[in-house]
A and B are shown apart, each in its own frame.
Chain A
Amino acid sequence: MSGSKPDILWSPHHADRYVICDSELSLYRIGAVGTSEAKAGALPLSQETAATLLAINSDTPYMKCVAWYPKHEPECLLAVGQANGRVVLTSLGQSHNSKCKELVGKEFVPKHARQCNTLAWNPVDSNWLAAGLDKHRADFSVLIWDISSKYSPEAVPAEKLRLSGDADSGMVVTKPLYELGQNDACLSLCWLPRDHQKLLLAGMHRNLAIFDLRNTSQKTFVNTKAIQGVTVDPYFPDRVASFFEGQVAIWDLRRFEKPVFTLTEQPKPLTKVAWCPTRMGLLATLTRDSNVIRLYDMQHAPTPIGDETEPTIIERGVQPCSESVISSFAWHPSTQNRMVVVSPNRAMCDFTVFERISLAWSSTTSLMWACGRHLYECTEESGEGGAAEKDIATKMRERAQSRYGHDTVQLWRNHLLAGGNDPHLRSLWYTLESLMQQYTEDLEQRQQGNKQSLIYAGIKNIVKSSSGTTETRRCWKGSDRPTDVAQYHSEERSLALQLCGWISRGPEIDVEPFLRSLEQEGEWERAASVALFNLDIRRAIQILNKGASAEKGDLNLNVVAMALSGYTDEKSSLWREMCSSLRLQLKKPYLCVMFAFLTSEPGSYDAVLYESRVAVRDRVAFACMFLNDNQLPRYIDKLTNDMKEAGNLEGVLLTGLTKDGVDLMESYVDRTGDVQTASFCMLRGSTAEVVKDPRVQCWIENYRNLLDAWRFWHKRAEFDIHRSKLDPSSKPLAQVFVSCNFCGKSISFSCSAMPHQGRGFSQYGVSGSPTKSKVTSCPGCRKPLPRCALCLMNMGTPVSSCPGKSDEKVDLPRDKKLAQFNNWFTWCHNCRHGGHAGHMLSWFRDHSECPVSACTCKCMQLDTTGKLQPSDYV
């Protein structure tokens, strides 16, 4: 410790007090922020704690080192080593204490004045204070003083007394108890906790030496450069750390010949090395002018005795006060891993070193982490703020629970099931809805011998096969002025328009119903632009007016309407010039494309076609109306590729559920991880090429795996049912067969293999549920089936347990469902005892062992997974 740089010292017994020493000693008390203890002048040390200055002591100038008296009484007694080698006892704010009084002010003066480097109280015999001094010729460098010694021999020169400024000669002690380390300097020393008579010294002559005070002539020593800051591991009394320059050496006193190991060298010289008193094997080091405290975790440091394992030392670095340089630090004596850090300008900071945190996510998006010996679980809470978007895992879970994807009749409703707030999903399911409608209608036509279906293939393939396009130049509606805008028509193009939702089925191109529905939804700009693209300026203006006058309407729409009404097709008009430049400032994309359309040259509509804020379906419909047979496929191809690259679900309209669609969905999944949507969407692709695509199969498997991990087993089962309806090849085979003990034939054989020939049983059945028959014997050999272990009746499981087809759609009440299940034939696969499912369930409700006498099988506990409840269970 040098005079300028502050050092820090915790009180050994008061967990809330510490001393900062630089040119003076300042005693601080640390307390929680906001408590009555913390006064107004308290210095904040961290978010929770603040320090209050209790006392300042500036009686002892030229301080070189300080040591706090280790015993409870007298408290707050400190030994200060000075630059002239004197050791002074002093105190902070404890003057009333009588016991302290006779000690405070006591001085211990060496024969020759030189710097005092280090001080250490003996931990057991607390009267003993060891002081390490610089070298002075052949004098001793380590003096052990007894603070209780009273006598002051006359030998003390009067001059020295004057220097100390203390008139009371009884307070000056010049005769040490022991003198060690002749002809050497002492840089650091410490008492050994195993034997309080032993002292470890680090001398200038590059050695570490252990002295025994009972026989001071003998010493064990080792030559080393690492002679600064010797300190004993409080958890491992044989382990000592010492340092030199940037290197720390760890010693084992049982084998003192060489360091057990050295830590990686730091580029700058070290200033402090300290073992953590509250955590085993943690050494903190500080280098000069650094803001990082390096920690070495030696949980499994090698011992010199025993095997030669690689040391597992974990090196860590902490920055207690971010960027500012640290002057010194001190571990808190009792609170685990806590330290106070002081910077050169005496700014202090209370800091706890966290242990290395290990963490794991559960399948249900809760995070568990372990810090030290404690566990913390952290779950995603749907906070009322809800500003942050939910993670896709949470979204998929919620969607699975709301039966997302299962509405097979009204496909568009699935986006509502998904929450109704995702524009991509909305677009996707509306697209699929219209694709499906077209598909079913086409299917009917095909049965009437029409040409092959194209519809699930999407607009890209539809327009490719376009033929017989007619070009027309229509007039603006309501005026006879001819336009030079060419419009194109063909059967395929109208089909595409239908898919885009602009027109409904039929030979005529009538957008009026579509406009009305847009008006109803308040999409004024979009409706106006669709009207305009159908060359009906009046209708567009009317829509805009309506929009302006509607509730919460935008009055600016009237201004736009005014601007529209001024339309002129003259090439060099002011209107055209202003519109084409000012339209770029319009924020609403649909208004923007309206003016783009009006001001662009016929046949070049890039400003409309490549306005990415406009919905894909509108742009495609526009293209189908105004692009010729050369331009259209090129545009559609380019748009399709853009959509594929971006994974934009709007593009499904173009690709349909084809290989292109799988490519598009692949980049959507790559981007979002939403395998749920991908699975449900691609299952609708009827062609084997799509469903059997390995990527699609992979998404489906991943989605099923997710449902399983969430224990949404019912949802998974429902998904499988849904899947097998759309993809019959995915139906799993029967899993279990029960064979007769006597003849070895399957007892369900006769019925499952020849369902229509089960006369023998169905004759008992009531019509409508033909299989409700009683079978108590093997259908093959007519030997009786085993008995239920509880009711001792022969098992009479109906051979086919599926209820009548008419029941399928009806949601059975719970007890009715169970009533059928009660008859099931169940058995334990381990002990092979069994019976009626209902009987078994009720038995195991309050028993753990098998109901069969002398069978100790814990049938119900065998499978841990079986104990888990499905989390979608209602």
Chain B
Amino acid sequence: MFVARSIAADHKDLIHDVSYDFHGRRMATCSSDQSVKVWDKSDDGEWHCTASWKTHSGSVWRVTWAHPEFGQVLASCSFDRTAAVWEEIVGESNDKQRGLSHWIKRTTLVDSRTSVTDVKFAPKHMGLVLATCSADGVVRIYEAPDVMNLSQWSLQHEISCKLSCSCISWNPSSSRAHPPMIAVGSDDNNVTYSGKVQIYEYNENTRKYTKAETLMTVTDPVHDIAFAPNLGRSFHVLAIATKDVRIFKLIPLRRESTTSSGPTKFEVQVMAQFDSHNSQVWRVSWNITSTLLASSGDDGCVRLWKANYMDNWKCTGILRGDGSPVNGSSVQGAALGAVGSGGAQTQNSVVGAASAGRKKAQLMPG
């Protein structure tokens, strides 16, 4: 059972992204008010904003944490066509600001000529590597060769995806059997270009990223994409937010000859497909064991999905965007929207969507 409570965010405009650090004790939010806020969880479980600063000259779309072994490092990307890397430094400032940490910009990545729509650090075993994607359809992969010097980033790869990119996700698998892999989603509106999700894999021999797979069945704009934490599994799971929630399973086919230099071939299966958000799905996120998926959509609800032992995915929870429970679930102590905007909801749409969800949430033949 899940219970929600609200936190005073104090952003002056829409929040576009929230991101937890590795330990789940820190959080970063970014907003159209061009700022990023960092939050720390105190011992009593309350979140306190410990830093808030202007990061860009446009809406900040995404913010993400590096693994703590690289220090306290954030990356953000914005409509202002840049991505930036930030590092927390210990306050050399005066005592007035005690309790507030200080973040300084280590670098600005200015290669994109259009809005940078997503930014993600690679899994830590690859070193300090950062990928960005932009509306002009280019994925850029940067590397800080010296992890002690975050102001030096070299552009290692530029992958042209031909379609306007909206989201990227690194395959988090640390297994040596899985080469570095990145999935890219496109929000291009034109349905004639099918395959809005492309998967690129690093080739050790050519030292380049090559396309390993295009998910041709995804024809509608993709708004978010997330590889599930691999956790030692032999396959990869990819969740996609498009006009519905889709979960794909990518099973690497064992190679016949070890000398073949081509990208890994995959057997692609659709594990689940839900249209119970009724309209566009905006975000998907996996929990640490990739056994729970959360999605948000235009029905204004957050839905939780879980697979049973038979790989049968079911909706296990619905929460409205303002934290209030969808009627029928007797959740106590749920924090209702703290402000007026949360006052009015529609029973009809949500309930209708919920029942539709139950009907439609079924296993796809795969």
Contact = CB atoms under 8 A, between A and B. Distances in A.
Interface in B166-181: 174-177
Given A317-B279, A356-B296, A357-B282, 12 more contacts: A322-B348, A335-B341, A351-B345, A359-B296, A362-B27, A371-B321, A374-B8, A376-B322, A671-B311, A673-B290, A702-B231, A702-B232
A49 B346 CA distance: 9
18 contacts: A45-B344, A318-B279, A322-B353, A352-B341, A356-B296, A357-B321, A363-B23, A367-B2, A367-B302, A369-B302, A376-B7, A376-B321, A379-B3, A381-B1, A391-B291, A392-B289, A695-B232, A702-B232
A358 interface: yes
A312 to B, nearest CB: 6
B283 interface: yes
Given A335-B340, A672-B309, A702 B32 contact: no
Contacts of B79: 300, 312
Interface in A35-62: 44-49
Contacts of A396: 289
A349 B344 CA distance: 10
Interface in B7-61: 7-20, 22-25, 27, 29, 31-32, 43, 47, 58-59
B316 interface: yes
A367 B5 CA distance: 11
A358 B282 contact: yes
A361 interface: yes
Interface in A721-745: none
Nearest to A15: B340
Contact of A321 (B68, B311, B340, B346): B346
A352 B283 contact: no
A373 B14 CA distance: 5
B234 interface: yes
A374 B174 contact: no
Nearest to A364: B24
B14 to A, nearest CB: 6
Interface stretch (A200-208, A782-790, A797-805, A863-871): A863-871
B126 interface: no
Contacts of B1: 380-383, 385, 388
Interface in A329-356: 335-338, 349-356
Interface string B176-198: 11000000000001000000000
A136 interface: no
Nearest to A863: B71
A310 interface: yes
Contact of B14 (A317, A355, A671): A355
Contact of B174 (A337, A350, A364, A701): A701
Interface string B306-327: 1001010000100111110001
A354 B300 contact: yes
B310 to A, nearest CB: 9
- List the 5 shortest-distance A-B pairs measured between CB atoms, nearest first: A354-B300, A362-B24, A322-B352, A357-B296, A370-B15
A360 B291 CA distance: 14
B344 A391 contact: no
A217 interface: no
A666 B232 CA distance: 8
Interface string A299-333: 11000000001101001111111110000000000
Interface stretch (B153-161, B259-267, B331-339): B331-339
Contacts of A709: 22-24, 288
A354 B232 contact: no
B311 A355 contact: no
A719 interface: no
A378 B29 contact: no
Contacts of A374: 6-9, 15, 322, 337-339
A824 interface: no
A861 interface: yes
A264 interface: yes
B219 interface: no
A352 B324 CA distance: 13
Main secondary structure of the interface of A (DSSP, over half): mixed
Contacts of B133: none
A372 interface: yes
B135 A312 contact: yes
Main secondary structure of the interface of B (DSSP, over half): loop
Nearest to B47: A377
B289 to A, nearest CB: 4
Nearest to B323: A376
B16 to A, nearest CB: 6
B161 to A, nearest CB: 15
Interface in A679-698: 694-695, 698
B292 interface: yes
B243 to A, nearest CB: 9
Interface in B344-365: 344-349, 352-353
Interface string A400-415: 0000000000000000
B115 interface: yes
Nearest to A340: B344
A660 to B, nearest CB: 15
A365 interface: yes
Nearest to B293: A361
Contact of A318 (B16, B285, B287, B298): B298
Contact of A336 (B3, B12, B230, B341): B341
A352 to B, nearest CB: 5
> How large, as a class, is the contact surface on chain B?
35 or more
A695 B115 CA distance: 41
A373 B282 contact: no
Contact of A392 (B164, B282, B291, B297): B291
Given A321-B349, A374-B337, A698-B175, A678 B322 contact: no
Contacts of B24: 362-364, 366, 709
A701 to B, nearest CB: 6
Given A365-B287, A695-B232, A373 B12 contact: yes
Interface in A824-872: 856, 858, 861-862, 864-865, 868-869
B114 interface: yes
A350 B346 contact: yes
Contacts of A49: 343-344
Nearest to A667: B234
B4 A376 contact: yes
A368 B164 CA distance: 28
Contacts of B231: 669, 673, 675, 702, 706
A509 interface: no
B91 interface: yes
B123 to A, nearest CB: 10
Contacts of B175: 694, 698
A353 to B, nearest CB: 7
A711 interface: yes
Contact of A337 (B43, B282, B341): B341
Interface string B218-253: 000000000000111111000000000000000000
Given A300-B115, A349-B346, A358-B15, A363 B3 contact: no
Interface string B73-106: 0000001000000001011100000000000000
A375 interface: yes
A309 B114 contact: yes
Residue picked from B9, B11, B232, most chain A C-beta under 10 Å: B232
Interface in A572-610: none
B294 interface: yes
B67 to A, nearest CB: 10
A670 interface: yes
A382 to B, nearest CB: 8
Contacts of B91: 858, 861
B65 to A, nearest CB: 10
Interface string B102-133: 00000000000011000000000000000000
B202 interface: no
Nearest to A366: B24
Contacts of B23: 363, 709-711, 865, 868
Nearest to A49: B344
